[in-house]
Amino acid sequence: MNTTSTCSLDNYLVLPDHSCDARIREAREILGDQCVVLGHHYQRDEVIQFSDYQGDSWRLSELASQARGQYIVFCGVHFMAESADILARPDQSVVLPDLNAGCSMADMAEISQVEDAWEQFVRMGLTSDEGDGITPLTYMNSAAAVKAFVGERGGAVCTSSNARAAFEWAFARNRKLFFLPDQHLGRNTGYGMGIPLDEMAVWDPYLPQGGQTAEALRAARVILWKGHCSVHMRFLPEDVDRMRQRYPGIQVIVHPECRWEVCQKANDTGSTDKLRRLVAEAPAGAKFAIGTEIHLVNRLARQHPDKTILTLNDCGCLCTTMYRISPQHLAWALENLVEGNVVNPIKVRPAVKRWARVALDRMLQIKG
Ligand code: SF4
């Protein structure tokens, strides 16, 4: 298979957005069943309109594992495309239209830092290297190497859709779990299960011994990696108060990547799929302030004109890395596939793939 580009990206980046639409449609038509385009809910409308399937990272992983065609074009971010490659058949190719579409949260847990933390846990006698003592769990939003790390040590991947079920699964193995890389999803999930905040210790990879005493780590039920989503961190408890004051009767619904204080004040929390469901199932006239990425909020507002749908904070809650996938990049990737060129293929190394697959398969079995 040819993996060099005959259609140069530079020629596409100068095109206006709308001029790519017809070209994308034509390329999709030529490729037919050979190609599936997956789109994350946070993608912009100009891109997601071309996806065969839309979903959160859980749903898109499932779809990637079931895709029949030769090409999976992933309109999302790097860790999602890596997961698709891990779950896809060996003869399939996964394409990420812009390799710069990363995730700042995933980047907060480098594999060398994770290995170093684990070694310290082993030295302290908290666990064996194989995971007898601590179950490691990683959020989907992490690098393939981190997924492989947890898979090899008896752990699993989870998404915001099945985080609670994954915690229950992990606690059935050990009394303690190590959650990467989003401290907020970990804290919100643990607290929702009745674990007090003082039984959850935050591990800061930039401080000696994670910034914790050995006693605190020994006592903790959950060790949380100090990572966060820069988009969801923008929502503050005062935003909830302000919206309730301004719009009496409004329901505040937020993603669990938001701070604990925000989730505590909200009417409900949930994955992007759950947030969509809550809005869809509400009666006409319902009012929502939603704490998640702005493209999804704006799309929900357009899809439900009979309801009031507002962002919880209108100060730029945009995932800039998701936004990197543009119609120009999509047209470039698809037209190259038509030419038989796989541009921006995402290939996870076989050694990493093996254990990451184990961790992802466990995720797919743990229903939310
Ligand atoms: S919204 Fe946050 S967690 Fe999701 S891809 Fe963007 S930076 Fe990463």
Ligand 1 atom with the shortest distance to the CA of 106: 8
Residue in 231, 258, 324 to alter for ligand 1 test, most ligand atoms within 8 A of Cβ: 231
Task: Judge residue 110's burial from the number of C-beta atoms within 10 Å of its C-beta, 0-12 exposed, 13-18 middle, 19 or more buried.
Answer: middle
Query: Position 352: which residue type?
Result: V
What is the C-alpha radius of gyration for the chain, rounded to an integer number of angstroms?
Answer: 21
Q: Ligand 1 centroid vs 255 CA: distance in angstroms?
A: 11
What was the pLDDT predicted at 314? 85
What's residue 103's pLDDT?
95
Q: Residue 319 Cα, ligand 1 centroid: separation in angstroms? A: 6
**Cβ of 319 below 6 Å from ligand 1:** yes
Rounded Cα gap, residues 290 and 240, in angstroms: 10
Beta bridge partners of 200: 222
* Ligand 1 atom nearest 104 alpha carbon: 7
Looking at 191-239, which runs of residues are DSSP E strands? 200-203, 222-225
Q: Is 141 close to ligand 1, i.e. is its CB under 6 Å away?
A: yes
Instruction: Give the whole-angstrom CA distance, residue 267 versus residue 212.
Output: 33
**Contact 293 CB / ligand 1 (< 6 Å):** yes
Q: Along the 368 residues of the chain, how does pLDDT read in single tens digits?
A: 444 456 789 999 999 878 899 999 999 999 999 999 999 999 999 999 999 999 888 888 888 889 889 999 999 999 999 999 999 999 999 999 999 999 999 999 999 999 999 999 999 999 999 999 999 999 999 999 999 999 999 999 999 999 999 999 999 999 999 999 999 999 999 999 999 999 999 999 999 999 999 999 999 999 999 999 999 999 999 999 999 999 999 999 999 999 999 999 999 999 999 999 999 999 999 999 999 999 999 999 999 999 999 999 987 688 999 999 999 999 999 999 999 999 999 999 999 999 999 999 999 899 77
Rounded distance from Cα 68 to ligand 1 centre (Å): 28
Side-chain-side CA neighbours of 228 within 13 Å: the count stands at: 15
The alpha carbon of 295 and the centre of ligand 1 are apart by a number of angstroms equal to 12
DSSP three-state, residue 156: strand
Is 161 touching ligand 1 by the criterion CB < 6 Å? no
> What is the reported pLDDT for 19?
87
